[in-house]
Structure 1
Amino acid sequence: MRIVVAPDSFKGTIDAADAAEALSSGWRSVRSADEVRCVPMADGGEGTLAAVVSASPGARLVDVPDVAGPDGRPVRGQFALLPDGTAVVELAVASGLPLLGGELRPLTATTRGTGETVAAALDAGATRLLVGLGGSASTDGGFGLLSALGARLLDRTGHVVPDALSDLDAALDAATAFDRSRMRFAPSGGVVLLTDVTNPLLGERGAAAVYGPQKGAGERELPLLERRLERLAELVGGDPSHPGAGAAGGTGYGLLAGWGAVVEPGAPAVARLLGLPGLLASADLLITGEGRYDATSLQGKAVGEVVRLAEAAGVPSRVVAGESAADGVLTLSSLAGSASAARSEPARWLHRAGAALAEQWAART
């Protein structure tokens, strides 16, 4: 038999690559003669770089030292460079919420470090760019990223507005123009934004209203962030209502309007990049999984996408989850006896889940 093991990460406990290995080793402990292929998945957010590198022969991970973290302190940036010249950047690596260590900065967090990472990818010869939007700490509309690529704010006299990153709101109020003249050119193969978010930039479904609270914004900060994004849209132009413009604190909008990017659903794009449709065409079974499985899992997330691809290929699928709100899903919490026990040793219980699925399959045949 040919088995494809393609889980997402079990967030907060184990990444997708290690989850795939644990599931596959559990399966092989029962059915050692089967051919098992690990394809760790992602949807453009957390784990996208790791998934691309682990499943793409010839891909290499490139470190970018000392880019600006979301609070301005230096962090390590990374991008993946594929043999065809495509560079993959995961926004959360340099501009993610976990980098703040719980000290959220709703008004001052920046995406500049992601822009510095993108610039490094261009310097390395990238001819196409995929940017995974997810896990952002910032609601800067992508201005920090664009500024790292050379964008500037100008006042009515044509002079550069200073300190735009340290006090973005004051800079936007003082500016009368968004200057692209010194921006780096986008790669010839284009810029694709990977996200499962369809929110616009502004309004009750916008970046500030929906995602601002996750980044520490309260009743005082939310109107300020909405006004910031409105002002940025006035200066940059484009279409703030475009689906996905609100992704990553408005970074979707910044790259759409400021750099000519396009948006694609993250999970299908990553699946194509990893060659998953072709692997499933010759598979007998798909195993996938994530930390918590519920109704939203089938709505644009990685697990839902691989299950959809398996159905299209006529391949049966099995889902493993840490916990599940749906029937028919093998959960680690049931195997371990509790959710806390499962979270404390995820690899152990994923191995056991893989073995249990193999035992069930053997009993059927």
Structure 2
Amino acid sequence: MKIVIAPDSFKGSLSAVDAARAIESGIQKAFPDANTLCLPVADGGEGTLDTLVAATHGQKIPVCVTGPLGQKIEAEYGILGDGKTCVIEMAKASGIPLIPREELNPLKATTFGTGELIKQALDDGFKSFILALGGSATNDGGAGMLQALGLSLLDEQGNKISTGGAELKKISSIDLSNFDNRIQGCQFLIASDVENPLIGPNGASHVFGPQKGATPEKVLILDACLAHWADEVEKVTGVRLHDLPGAGAAGGIGGAFQAFFPSRMRRGIDVVLEYTGLHKALGGADLVITGEGQVDFQTASGKTPMGVAQAALLKNIPTIILAGSVGKGIEVLYQYGIVSVHSIINKPMELKEAMEYAGELLEKAAEQVVRSFFYQRNKIKFPIV
């Protein structure tokens, strides 16, 4: 019996590595002789750097950068095992977890620190980059990141504007003369599952702004600022970001990479699965178990469980999802080889308690689902006690 274990993190509770270990422990309680293979994964959001570095036996390099609200923080970039590829996870420098919930403010939040990570990696000689865009606290169109790399954004008086989403409305011209010229000699792979355009009802501000602290009024302000930013970018690059798919990723930084960098975008989960070697690892497997903190209709849009299940379906291997909570619309998942979705919560409890005991709950849930699955499959005979 071979079981491949490929979960994402349970945000706020368990890393993908810890989640995989908890699932493996549960399986071994049911079937001590089972052949289990742990492959923690991510979808291009938080945890992608850790997953790729671990999978390729790489390393992390600490860097002091500017946090999303201007504070100095300790971030890091990753180096894959090939020693040549640099992984930048923008959440490390510009992510929501870096700001207390009550202080979230996309009008002020900046991607400057993400630009500092890229600059340091360039200084260290890297030319091949993977950029993971999920989990941002920002809505500045990537302007802060570009400013950190030498791009000058000027107001009507010719003065440099400050950072943050609200500052974009002040831009009168963009000066490329000091923009880091090393960028054009590099390759940038953008790992993101977001296909939203930059502006409009499906754009960065309307869709993602609220989760970053934007009120309905601020959403309208932010969208107008990004529209002005897109106008100015088009003047100097010829790239129209307004309705460009993927430009709305991570508060618009996806558009900045498309306009100013030699880049290409791929679904984040596909990038991770390639580097973790999941497709090869699935050979001979009887079952795949994946999971993350929340599973609902959005999971079908390229989230980790969906990507794992699609890979397993190509080999006709069934997939089970374990989740902290199960929302609406999961029925759509069943057409992709997912046989069942289970919440790990086994009794009434507060969110705080569920997060505190997530590892234990995940372990117990894993034990029960594999017992049920293999009993139904008649794969084993239970010992008579």
TM-score with structure 1 length normalisation?
A: 0.91
Range with greater deviation from structure 2 (98-107 or 172-181): 172-181
5+ residue gaps, structure 1, are none
Q: Which residue of 1 aligns with 2:27?
A: 27
Pairing 1:360–2:361 present: no
Pairing 1:246–2:245 present: no
Pairing 1:61–2:60 present: yes
What letter is aligned with 1:87?
C
> What SS is found at the alignment partner of 1:40?
coil
Q: Which residue of 1 aligns with 2:88?
A: 89
Q: Which residue of 2 aligns with 1:318?
A: 320
Q: Which residue of 2 aligns with 1:212?
A: 209
> What SS is found at the alignment partner of 1:186?
helix
Q: Which residue of 2 aligns with 1:302?
A: 304
Whole-Å separation in 2 of the counterparts to 1:316 and 1:209: 36
Q: Which residue of 2 aligns with 1:228?
A: 225
Q: Would the alpha carbon gap of residues 166 and 283 (structure 1) be closer, same or farther in structure 2, given more than 3 Å must change?
A: closer
> What SS is found at the alignment partner of 1:126?
coil
1:1-365 → structure 2 map (5 Å cutoff): 1-57=1-57, 59-65=58-64, 67-84=65-82, 85-102=84-101, 103-154=103-154, 161-165=159-163, 169=167, 173=170, 175-186=172-183, 188=185, 190-237=187-234, 238-240=239-241, 241-325=243-327, 326=330, 328-333=340-345, 335-336=346-347, 338=349, 340=351, 341-363=353-375, 364-365=378-379
Range with greater deviation from structure 2 (105-114 or 206-215): 206-215
What letter is aligned with 2:299?
S
Whether the 8 Å CA contact 1:6–1:38 is kept in 2: the answer is yes
> What SS is found at the alignment partner of 1:23?
helix
Q: Would the alpha carbon gap of residues 125 and 283 (structure 1) be closer, same or farther in structure 2, given more than 3 Å must change?
A: farther
Q: How many residues align?
A: 359
5+ residue gaps, structure 2, are 332-339, 380-385
Whether the 8 Å CA contact 1:129–1:187 is kept in 2: the answer is no
Whether the 8 Å CA contact 1:22–1:348 is kept in 2: the answer is yes
Whole-Å separation in 1 of the counterparts to 2:297 and 2:107: 33
Whether the 8 Å CA contact 1:21–1:38 is kept in 2: the answer is yes
User: Offset of 1:51 from its aligned partner?
Assistant: 1.4
Whole-Å separation in 2 of the counterparts to 1:293 and 1:172: 37
What letter is aligned with 1:138?
T
> What SS is found at the alignment partner of 2:196?
coil
Whole-Å separation in 2 of the counterparts to 1:136 and 1:324: 24
User: Offset of 1:314 from its aligned partner?
Assistant: 1.7
Whole-Å separation in 2 of the counterparts to 1:155 and 1:243: 28
Whole-Å separation in 2 of the counterparts to 1:167 and 1:331: 38
Give per-residue Cα distances to partners, 1:176-228, cap 9 Å, x unaligned: 23415432422755112111111111112111222222222234433332232
User: Offset of 1:168 from its aligned partner?
Assistant: 6.2
Give per-residue Cα distances to partners, 1:55-102, cap 9 Å, x unaligned: 222x1111112x000011001111110133111111111101221212
Whole-Å separation in 2 of the counterparts to 1:282 and 1:18: 24
Provide the alpha-carbon RMSD of the alignment: 2.3
Of all paired residues, the percent bearing the same amino acid is 36
User: Offset of 1:139 from its aligned partner?
Assistant: 1.1
User: Offset of 1:164 from its aligned partner?
Assistant: 3.0
User: Offset of 1:319 from its aligned partner?
Assistant: 1.5
Whether the 8 Å CA contact 2:290–2:321 is kept in 1: the answer is yes
Q: Which residue of 1 aligns with 2:337?
A: none
Give per-residue Cα distances to partners, 1:315-347, cap 9 Å, x unaligned: 1222111222448323211x3454645433011
What letter is aligned with 1:75?
I
What letter is aligned with 1:100?
I
